[in-house]
Structure 1
């Protein structure tokens, strides 16, 4: 991969960019795949790309939709599979507590435990100067659960866990998508690999 600063227009762009930053102007940085991305574009989340949620124990918050983060990653790093992607490191089902168990009133009741689908991925992307950067995270989804008094199975659990893991990796890399420096160093989970 050719370093942009080694191209004929590179030094002029850098000179102009430094002057613009000194003057407090926004700078648009060149990126691979012929795209340019404004420096503050990845740090500002479109409010329509967020959703409210209620977690375990009633915790409430706002999350960025994973599809929005994936679209941003594609804009900044290039197509999935070329400029960024992931590898599945772990794929398993974890057993939880009982949803149904034998009781005094129903001694022959089958024991049914909750099950959680767990997926660990390593997300990679091409950072500054084309180096491969990685981040790992888990995604979880209830697979066998109690919902409105009924034991149900969510057959979409694996897909949801993958989406959850990708979203968690990308959410931590929003600063890593900084289009000028490629510096994801503000995230403690970021590491460069050869």
Structure 2
């Protein structure tokens, strides 16, 4: 399947899911897995409701997809092949999710040693949870690099070995919270997955899909839905480009996509309820 075919197929699937959500009154656009908040059980106030479920994969799912432009293949002695991830891209992703280094996240050296002409550094990463504001730590990880470089049959000291060892250790720590997990899980071996990731990051870089633009679009949709009097008006708003825009938004912000879709579901429920009441009064 070509890249264009992949994007079209994914867009069609997303449109079907969005349309189905919009056609279901009262869903509010929330994922089916969302549970009710803690408190009394509406069906039986004497019984407590089930505790609110915590999305333990929230950070993992947000960090796991790797930009193909930040990767390149490599081959080591013995024929081992793998995918190298740009360390600067890793820092960019962490800054995007947690904030500037030293404020929203960071790393610290815990130990170091030299053995077999290699420098080993043990480090751990800390980050501030975006939701709870709690400071969290990964488990410590070791990174290692040879202290000499071999070029043209000659050995020379590598003045980058300490930095490279730290980079290696930090990269292993960041994997623990999901950063670039798709590479380590072998998904990059699938050409279709890489094409999907290229489409995802192309959409993410679109100015129309940045948070401020999405927020303005959501406000505009609310305004237009407020003026809808019947289902024909609602359909006209949907067909005015909202469906297409929602597919694009869903590629980078599923929560916003669900919220806006929920506005249509809520408005449809209100219109149907009003028409039902008007019908009873006329009878």
For this structure pair, what is the TM-score category when the shorter chain's length is used for normalisation? 0.5 to 0.7
1:172 aligns with 2:176: yes
Query: Aligned residue for 2:148?
Result: 144
Task: Kindly indicate whether the alpha-carbon contact (under 8 Å) linking 2:145 and 2:164 is maintained by their aligned counterparts in 1.
Answer: yes
Higher RCO (C-alpha 8 Å, min separation 6): 2
Bigger Rg over Cα:
2
Map residues 19-168 of structure 1 onto 2, 5 A cutoff. Answer: 19-22=29-32, 42-94=63-115, 96=116, 115-127=117-129, 128-135=131-138, 136-168=140-172
Q: C-alpha deviations, 1:72-92, integer Å up to 9, x for none?
A: 001101111111111101122
Structure with the largest fraction of strand: 1
Whole-angstrom CA distance in 2 between matches of 1:51 and 1:42: 19
Change (3 A) 1:167 1:17: farther
Q: CA RMSD in A?
A: 3.5
Structure 1 residue 46: Cα displacement: 1.2
Normalised TM-score (structure 1): 0.57
Paired residues in the alignment total: 133
Normalised TM-score (structure 2): 0.41
User: Unpaired segments of 5 or more residues in structure 1?
Assistant: 1-15, 24-37, 97-114, 181-194
Structure 1 residue 116: Cα displacement: 0.6
User: Unpaired segments of 5 or more residues in structure 2?
Assistant: 1-25, 34-58, 182-252, 255-283
Structure 1 residue 152: Cα displacement: 1.6
Whole-angstrom CA distance in 2 between matches of 1:84 and 1:176: 17
Q: C-alpha deviations, 1:142-193, integer Å up to 9, x for none?
A: 112544421221011111111222222123322699x99xxxxxxxxxxxxx
Task: Kindly indicate whether the alpha-carbon contact (under 8 Å) linking 1:70 and 1:167 is maintained by their aligned counterparts in 2.
Answer: no
Structure with the largest fraction of helix: 2
